[in-house]
Structure 1
Amino acid sequence: MNNVQPRGQWATRIGFILAAAGSAVGLGNIWKFPYIAGQNGGGAFVLVYLFCIAIVGLPIMISELMIGAHTQKDAVGAFTFLEGKRSPWRLAGWFSVAAAFIILSYYSVVAGWTLEYVWRALQGAFVGQSPEAIEGMFGGLIGDGTRQVICHFAFIALSLGIVIGGVHKGIERWSKILMPILFGLLLLLFINGMLSAGAAESLHFMFYPDFSKLTPVSVLEAMGHSFYTLSLGMAIIVTYGSYLSKGSNIVGASLRVALLDTAIALIAGLAIFSVVFAVGMQPAAGPGLVFKTIPIVFSKIPGGYFLAILFFLLIAFAALTSTISLMEAQVAYLIDERGWNRKAATTTLAILCFIVGIPSALSYNMLGSWTPLGDRAFFDSIDLVASNYMLPISGLLISIYVGWFWKNEQDKKEMLAASPAWVYSLWHFMIRYITPLAVAIVLYAKVKESGLFAYIASLF
């Protein structure tokens, strides 16, 4: 396995933008953002979310791209390059690579659900069915361990097939195919929504800020999602940044990725809420919005058969663009730090992620009685650890390191030389004071909400 590999590079700027945007545009945009916006009152939540993208998401994304582009290394190797092999700052890299591995292991399970629903949509399984029958389909899926494992395997295999091709011939080439298709599918669904009877209500819900519905929990949710949706703290952005040349416009690239990600989240919300309102249903449906509510909606409207196919193809493509980036973040570590060739690294990681993800696939059926953290199933427990703890810790470490401990100011200024001087000053102020404080607040709130403090106290 110890074959020295020439380091991959993006062939074009648009290739990098599409790949990085593909990483950010995932189930978090098409699935999670609409339902958390629905649960937190719509327009006011959206405004807070956009503000949080600016003060939390963008500064950390710029920092991660800087680290990658400056060192031309994976997330662990970057901190080794900057601080040496004995530096405790390598922990930030380890945290992010470990988070990518854990998240891919269960994210691919959820992604597998989208393949199942594409197949059901093609079969016309939702047409003419009662709401109770459609809701029962989702329960039947997560209750079937064998089907879950097969779907999980299929998605890991799809990701393997793309990542094994490398940066240019694999990830970049497929991003140029998958992302335009994703945009096209979303645009068709958006146009359909804007032509429906629920369009006006959807626009009002998404963009009219009713601050009476905004709670402290809503603000924390917006802050947390602004961090998660841009794929921060998962070693992805550092890795993708390492395939950039050092003269790249990092601020411009970060803005384009963030704008694409945010635009798709908003358009997806409008597309979904318009058809939900058109049939008199409510948007605050929680996680079941996509896999329960939306199929019911499509069963009631003209052209629902074709719209269901388009919709589930859309979220399947969105999930795939994210899983390939999660896998690449880990593959880069094995290639850079361990000297593995890409084929061996990708295949080994795919097998390991599949195996580690099996308990998540069985969490609501064969392993339903196993609750590692409190009353949470294995799937919910591992998601809690990765999303609520590992990602914020990783982001906090990166923001503190770049703001306070990366001593060579000239290196940082050179990385942002393509932008006006005031951009560097603003970013540096944010990454030193505002961003780490915001991430620390989110981390504290998540730990408190999970009951970890009470659990630790009970041990003494």
Structure 2
Amino acid sequence: MAEREQLASRLGFILVSAGCAIGLGNVWRFPYITGRYGGAAFVIVYLIFLAIMGLPIMVCEFAMGRASRRNLAGAMLVLEPPGTKWHIYGYLGIIGNMVLMMFYTTVTGWGLAYTYHTAVGHLARLSPEEVGNFFGSFISNTPELTMWMALVVIIGFLVCSIGLQTGVERITKILMSGLFLLLIVLMVRSVTLPGAEKGLAFYLKPDFSKLSWEAVYAAMSQAFFTLSLGIGSMLIFGSYLSKERTLAGESVYVIILDTLVALMSGMVIFPACFAFGVDAGAGPGLIFVTLPNVFNSMTGGRIWGTLFFVFIFFAALTTVIAVFEHLVAFAMDEWKWSRKKASYIGIIIMFIASLPCVLGFGPWSGFHPFGNGTVVLDLEDFIVSFNLLPIGSLVFVLFCTSKYGWGWDNFIREANTGIGPKFPEGLRGYMTYVLPLIIAVVLIMGYIQFFG
């Protein structure tokens, strides 16, 4: 068996893993639901769920990856007891990575497109109604949407084709550095706008009267979805990790970076929205309809708008590169393809697989999978977010704690190999009985919310 590639540095591992977790969920979903459920009070509940749910599942993924030195499908096959069928989910998880990218490439393309349209002034001097119409005509323009999606697919796989250290790790370090730099610049601009203090008070002052069971569930699901757990997105980077350090400490760093980006995004969005009297709870339309109006009202708005959409694109692209790396690793591990072959064939397969999402806004817009107003993207998102992420996380936790799976002793030995904070062995009961229940609640409540 060929020697497993490794990431060049610990910082590279943390940034690549955080890059996978940091995506569109941090940038608009987190600020929007934070505002909806009581600002800082919601954040406190969210952080608790990150610690009690997100952290243990992430350690499970990293441990499975590092112990097996394989992709998700290969990992479960290598680690499962002989005669068991855990690896069936491994293949489902790989399909989950594919389905996630079938719509994520399109939305990442929107970020790239808006960077261009804002920079050249296509959105300047448009009325709020015209900005809304611009977005509507943009997503129904199938040739243009296809072009931006194709660009994202090509960029993502080309980065993977260069190599793990020279491509994935190096480019992600650059993107993540750029992302934090842009965030800081945008944050300073936003909090110094006249009237921004109202937005800051709304965002940072806890309002515990708004905390309801619905808010607790929202915090639970956001903590869950933000880390992309359940389809092996983290596992693959565990497979490239040396045994020098324990996995609990590394997981904490990844979660801190992910949370930092989410919190800082709120510091950009809320002050700007309040300064210009715009609804920060505008949901999915916030980024592409509401915020362009804010930039149009600002001095130097075209520059600030362009920087904001570059930031959006960087946040989404780090996730694209990370998930593409898992698909490339699968082809390399299981089919013995070279990295370049896996990447180039990946471009063709992913482009074709991403077309239904693009067509769903144009020629296929008459297809409403869940009733009026829903499109192909909603169906693909439902498959991943409401099914594979929670079911996969449940499988991973059971796999790492059950004597019929990989088992607690193997898991804890791998997690605590190296120097650094140890994963508490006293959590065995919690991991075996309580955590699976919490994940089951997320799964069931998600169904109730979606179909209710």
Q: 1:437 and 1:420, CA in 2 relative to 1: closer, same or farther beyond 3 A?
A: farther
Aligned AA for 1:372?
Answer: P
Secondary structure of the 1:257 match is helix
Q: Aligned equivalents of 1:429 and 1:272: distance in 2?
A: 41
* Cα contact 2:249–2:421 (8 A) shared by 1: no
Q: 1:300 and 1:68, CA in 2 relative to 1: closer, same or farther beyond 3 A?
A: same
Secondary structure of the 1:236 match is coil
* Cα contact 1:59–1:430 (8 A) shared by 2: no
Question: Which TM-score applies when normalising by structure 2?
Answer: 0.94
Q: Shift of residue 374 of structure 1?
A: 4.1
- The reply on whether 1:204 has 2:195 as its aligned counterpart is no
Pick which of 431-440 and 260-269 moved more.
431-440
> In structure 2, which of residues 280, 285, 288 is the aligned counterpart of residue 283 of structure 1?
280
> In structure 2, which of residues 89, 95, 103 is the aligned counterpart of residue 92 of structure 1?
89
Q: Aligned equivalents of 2:164 and 2:187: distance in 1?
A: 32
Provide structure 2 residue ranges, at least 5 long, that are not aligned to the other structure. none
- The reply on whether 1:31 has 2:32 as its aligned counterpart is no
> In structure 2, which of residues 357, 360, 363 is the aligned counterpart of residue 360 of structure 1?
357
Aligned partner of 2:147 in structure 1 is: 150
Q: Shift of residue 370 of structure 1?
A: 1.2
Q: Aligned equivalents of 1:367 and 1:50: distance in 2?
A: 40
Q: Aligned equivalents of 1:429 and 1:350: distance in 2?
A: 44
* Cα contact 2:228–2:389 (8 A) shared by 1: no
Aligned partner of 1:172 in structure 2 is: 169
Where do residues 359-378 of structure 1 align in structure 2 (5 Å cutoff)? 359-375=356-372, 376-378=374-376
* Cα contact 1:80–1:87 (8 A) shared by 2: no
Q: Shift of residue 411 of structure 1?
A: 5.3
Q: Aligned equivalents of 1:422 and 1:260: distance in 2?
A: 20
Q: Aligned equivalents of 1:414 and 1:234: distance in 2?
A: 20
Aligned AA for 1:377?
Answer: V
Q: Shift of residue 334 of structure 1?
A: 1.3
Where do residues 316-335 of structure 1 align in structure 2 (5 Å cutoff)? 316-335=313-332
Pick which of 268-277 and 81-90 moved more.
81-90
Q: Shift of residue 164 of structure 1?
A: 1.0
Residues 17-74 of structure 1 show CA distances to partners (whole Å, capped at 9, x for unaligned) of 1111111111111122122223333222222211111111111001110111111111
Aligned partner of 1:403 in structure 2 is: 401
Where do residues 125-140 of structure 1 align in structure 2 (5 Å cutoff)? 125-140=122-137
Where do residues 413-432 of structure 1 align in structure 2 (5 Å cutoff)? 413-418=413-418, 423-432=423-432
Q: Aligned equivalents of 1:411 and 1:42: distance in 2?
A: 37
Secondary structure of the 2:73 match is helix
Pick which of 441-450 and 311-320 moved more.
441-450
Where do residues 13-412 of structure 1 align in structure 2 (5 Å cutoff)? 13-83=10-80, 86-375=83-372, 376-405=374-403, 406-407=406-407, 409=409, 412=412
Q: Shift of residue 390 of structure 1?
A: 1.1
Q: Aligned equivalents of 1:420 and 1:237: distance in 2?
A: 19
Q: Aligned equivalents of 1:308 and 1:217: distance in 2?
A: 33
* Cα contact 2:59–2:415 (8 A) shared by 1: no
Q: Aligned equivalents of 1:16 and 1:198: distance in 2?
A: 40
* Cα contact 1:65–1:242 (8 A) shared by 2: yes
Q: Aligned equivalents of 2:94 and 2:359: distance in 1?
A: 24
Q: Aligned equivalents of 1:147 and 1:381: distance in 2?
A: 22
Aligned AA for 1:409?
Answer: D
Residues 251-305 of structure 1 show CA distances to partners (whole Å, capped at 9, x for unaligned) of 1110111000001100011111111111112211111111111100000011211
Q: 1:339 and 1:216, CA in 2 relative to 1: closer, same or farther beyond 3 A?
A: same
Question: Which TM-score applies when normalising by structure 1?
Answer: 0.93
Q: Shift of residue 419 of structure 1?
A: 6.2
Q: Aligned equivalents of 1:63 and 1:292: distance in 2?
A: 39
* Cα contact 1:135–1:292 (8 A) shared by 2: yes
Secondary structure of the 2:117 match is helix
What is the Cα-based RMSD across aligned positions, in Å? 1.9
Provide structure 1 residue ranges, at least 5 long, that are not aligned to the other structure. 453-460
Q: 1:56 and 1:172, CA in 2 relative to 1: closer, same or farther beyond 3 A?
A: same
Secondary structure of the 1:401 match is helix
Residues 323-358 of structure 1 show CA distances to partners (whole Å, capped at 9, x for unaligned) of 011111111111112211111212222222211111
Aligned AA for 2:424?
Answer: Y
Q: Aligned equivalents of 1:207 and 1:427: distance in 2?
A: 33
Q: Aligned equivalents of 2:221 and 2:401: distance in 1?
A: 20
* Cα contact 1:26–1:319 (8 A) shared by 2: yes
Q: Aligned equivalents of 2:103 and 2:228: distance in 1?
A: 15
Q: Aligned equivalents of 1:86 and 1:145: distance in 2?
A: 48
Aligned AA for 2:386?
Answer: N
Q: Aligned equivalents of 2:414 and 2:363: distance in 1?
A: 55
* Cα contact 1:118–1:313 (8 A) shared by 2: yes
* Cα contact 2:71–2:236 (8 A) shared by 1: yes
Secondary structure of the 2:4 match is coil
Residues 101-120 of structure 1 show CA distances to partners (whole Å, capped at 9, x for unaligned) of 10011100000001110011
Q: Shift of residue 317 of structure 1?
A: 0.7
* Cα contact 1:159–1:320 (8 A) shared by 2: yes
Q: Shift of residue 206 of structure 1?
A: 2.1
Aligned partner of 2:445 in structure 1 is: 445
Q: Aligned equivalents of 2:162 and 2:82: distance in 1?
A: 30
Secondary structure of the 2:162 match is coil
Secondary structure of the 2:253 match is helix
